[in-house]
């Protein structure tokens, strides 16, 4: 693949498909092993991947699959042990387990808890550990600060350090490069190089994403940008986009995720208006998006996951004047109260009422509770006096109890008065209202059940979907 200064694939997505074709690998494999690695085409060195979790392990497997020696670094000894046995500890990423096994068997993948030794042995260090939010919605650096401290003493002359974790604008240069300098006793951009390259991976499709989405790279200088670009050009099959600075690359990831949050907030406000005027928001959005410059997203109960509800706050932590961004967070988080109010109104109150929540993970098919809207939904229902039951095919009974709900056994009879779907799992289409003789309301939080047959007297409440049409379609 080539390295370019502007992406060549983006405009084709306007109003259309979000699925990009997978690029074929055009690398000559195996590459020639060199030490130290200095960026020469057709050569490979050693890379340390710090953070071997749901996104880090696919990266490590990808790099090893392109002929690099990979040292996975993680603080969890169980993760390190699994990798050193040739096993993947993550279960929902197609192809990763096979790549881990083959790379380990070939002697190209090993793991350790010692970041200093890994950095000392590596030509390139890639950090992908969480930066989340604290209770005040400010960036929580505890894991990244610890990771940087662990590798810092091992950074050596010629090292290239790349941050893939999404960061507030300016952190690569202003926060973490100085930490690396202090720990190593070396000077960034003189003795070692530093760059930022945001991960752009979607749970359940990480390897596919690595072969499709353009890889954005921005360094603290032109030299670090070039070296990082050459590294990714050696290990990825996607287009590499060399940006003008680390700050531009940091901002690009925040702009991407914040755009989606704002777009979903707009869709949620459109849905509220559709309810008021009695039209189906799905019809409206499909019609609007037939114009190629419109790409309105879908409304729902809000936004969960590690990315979209988090990264707008990274922007706001540095730019509080972005009022549209702040308002969008309020709109999307406010969807929960709208759903709770719909249940309260339909039942004439929530005290003592049994409510069933379907779908606790932030997205169907992904076993991850990070910022799932089910958690505040359950809290709000319980605070209002409801008894909350819940079901998620990905979670055990103990995991369901851990978020404050009682496990519901799928298909069993229960004295449930209302059901709220928080994900769009296909299993919900098998729902049979006869399981719930006293049910009065179904809140369809992802607009996936409008065709479900409901008996007379059971109200349907979608997100911008007319109740009468939904019941008639059943």
User: Radius of gyration over alpha carbons of the chain, in Å?
Assistant: 24
From the list 54, 215, 253, 367, the catalytic residue is 253
368-373's contacts with Cβ under 8 Å and 24+ in sequence apart are: 368/54, 368/203, 368/305, 368/306, 369/403, 370/304, 370/305, 370/306, 371/303, 371/304, 371/305, 371/306, 371/309, 371/310, 372/304, 372/305, 372/422, 373/301, 373/302, 373/303, 373/304, 373/335, 373/336, 373/422
Beta-carbon contacts of 86 under 8 Å, excluding residues fewer than 6 positions away, are: 100, 101, 104, 105, 109
CA 38 to chain centre: 32
Respond yes or no: is residue 25 known to be catalytic. Answer: no
From the list 25, 54, 215, 307, the catalytic residue is 307
Residue 60's Cβ-count burial label (10 Å; 0-12, 13-18, 19+) is: buried
Q: How far apart are CA 42 and CA 64, in angstroms?
A: 15
Residue 256's Cβ-count burial label (10 Å; 0-12, 13-18, 19+) is: middle
| Prior bond of 470 cis (ω within 30°) | no
The pair phi, psi for residue 419, each rounded to 5°, is -125, 135
Strands 193-196 and 215-219: antiparallel
For residue 255, which of 208, 203, 295, 198 has the smallest C-alpha distance?
198
The CA-atom distances, in angstroms, between 122 and each of 79, 111, 192 are 20, 13, 12
Respond yes or no: is residue 215 known to be catalytic. Answer: no
Q: Please list the active-site residues.
A: 253, 307
């Amino acid at each position: 693949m080539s390295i370019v200064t502007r992406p060549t694939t983006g405009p084709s997505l306007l109003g259309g498909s979000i699925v990009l074709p997978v690029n074929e690998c055009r690398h000559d494999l195996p590459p020639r092993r060199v030490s130290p690695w200095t960026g020469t085409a057709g050569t490979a060195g050693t890379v340390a991947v710090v953070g071997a979790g749901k996104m880090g392990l696919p990266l490590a497997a990808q790099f090893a699959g392109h002929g690099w020696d990979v040292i996975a670094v993680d603080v969890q000894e169980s993760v390190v042990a699994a990798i050193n046995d040739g096993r993947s500890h993550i279960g929902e990423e197609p192809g990763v387990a096979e790549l881990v096994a083959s790379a380990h068997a070939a002697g190209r993948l090993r793991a350790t808890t010692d970041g200093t030794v890994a950095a000392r042995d590596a030509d390139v260090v890639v950090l992908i550990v969480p930066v989340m939010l604290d209770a005040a919605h400010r960036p929580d650096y505890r894991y990244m600060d610890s990771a940087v401290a662990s590798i810092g003493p091992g950074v050596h002359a010629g090292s290239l350090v790349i941050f893939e974790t999404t960061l507030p604008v300016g952190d690569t240069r202003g926060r973490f490069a100085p930490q690396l300098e202090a720990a190593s006793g070396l000077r960034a951009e003189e003795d070692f190089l530093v760059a930022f390259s945001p991960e752009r991976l979607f749970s359940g499709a990480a390897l596919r994403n690595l072969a499709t989405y353009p890889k954005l790279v921005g360094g603290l200088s032109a030299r670090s940008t070039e070296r990082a670009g050459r590294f990714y050009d050696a290990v990825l099959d996607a287009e590499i986009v060399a940006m003008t600075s680390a700050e531009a690359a940091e901002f690009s990831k925040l702009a991407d995720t914040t755009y989606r949050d704002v777009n979903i907030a707009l869709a949620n406000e459109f849905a509220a208006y559709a309810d008021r005027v009695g039209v189906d928001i799905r019809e409206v959005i499909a019609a609007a998006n037939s114009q190629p410059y419109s790409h309105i997203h879908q409304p729902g109960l809000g936004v969960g996951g590690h990315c979209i509800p988090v990264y707008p706050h990274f922007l706001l932590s540095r730019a509080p004047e972005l009022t549209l961004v702040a308002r969008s967070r309020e709109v999307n988080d406010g969807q929960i109260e709208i759903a709770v109010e719909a249940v309260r109104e339909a039942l004439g109150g929530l005290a003592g009422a049994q409510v069933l929540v379907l779908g606790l993970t932030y997205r169907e098919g992904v076993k991850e509770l990070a910022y799932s809207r089910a958690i505040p939904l359950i809290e709000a229902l319980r605070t209002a006096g409801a008894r909350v039951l819940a079901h998620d095919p990905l979670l055990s009974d103990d995991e369901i109890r851990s978020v404050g709900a009682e496990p519901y056994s799928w298909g069993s009879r229960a004295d449930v008065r209302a059901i709220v779907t928080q994900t769009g799992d296909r299993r919900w289409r098998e729902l049979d209202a006869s399981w719930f003789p006293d049910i009065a309301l179904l809140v369809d939080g992802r607009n996936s059940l409008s065709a479900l047959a409901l008996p007379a007297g059971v109200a349907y409440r979608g997100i911008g979907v007319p109740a009468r049409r939904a019941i008639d379609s059943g």
